[in-house]
Amino acid sequence: MNLTFKSLKSLVLGSLFSFGIFNTNLLTANADFTALTPCKDSPAFTKRLNSSVKKLENRLKLYTPDSKEAKALEKEINATKARFDRYGNENLLCGKEGLPRIIASGQWDRSNEFVIPGILFLYITGWIGWVGRKYLRYASTTDNAFENEIIINVPVAIGIMNSGFLWPIDAWKEFTSGDLLASDDDVTVSPR
């Protein structure tokens, strides 16, 4: 498909517009999760905690108290109890085997499980990609572009890395001004 910048822009804006129009009347879908129980009320979850702590306590008996190994095991017992405590307090849902589930449906009351980490991931990887592209575009303007791609100009690179925190705005500005995408004339195509 031969996409020009103008058709791509209208495709993106058109799909955003129609998504907004056709989704305003929908209620948020909150699935029932009858097969899952809150982890703090789940007997299987508590059983897992008790068996993990029991195993560590059995190992602890093999060492003299106050030894390095005993202290490390006590630290691990505390960390295990803290982990199960935190998973229980964070209102996670567990299956009948006692393991927590991430609900990735996008519902807002469980947004901390998938939506927020997902957005954070996209922001971080977008930052990395955007500043990498910016450095490459800078390198292509230098006298020796090839060398600047393998022997990095560190002061310039650090400056560019620090400027990446507003990358969604920069990317949108470049998209609307036509600078984000190369024109079709610059893209080589195999002979037809």
Long-range contact set of residues 165-171: C-beta below 8 Å, sequence gap at least 24: 165/127, 167/123, 167/126, 167/127, 167/130, 167/131, 168/123, 168/126, 170/130, 171/126, 171/130
Options 1-9, 45-53, 108-116, 132-140: segment touching another protein (CB under 8 A): 108-116
92 near another protein (CB under 8 A) = yes
Kindly write out the interface string for residues 62-81 of this chain, putting x where it contacts another protein by CB under 8 A and - elsewhere. Answer: -----------------x--
Q: Which of 63, 87, 127, 175 binds another protein (CB under 8 A)?
A: 87
Q: Which of 41, 69, 90, 97 binds another protein (CB under 8 A)?
A: 90
37 near another protein (CB under 8 A) = no
83 near another protein (CB under 8 A) = yes
Rg of the chain, C-alpha, whole Å: 27
Cβ atoms of residues 31 and 93 within 8 Å: no
The residues in 145-184 that bind another protein, with binding defined as CB under 8 A, are: 149-154
112 near another protein (CB under 8 A) = yes
Give the position of tokens 């009347």. Answer: 25
* Residue 112: CB minimum distance to another protein, A: 4
C-alpha dihedral, 126 to 128 to 129 to 130, nearest 10°: 80
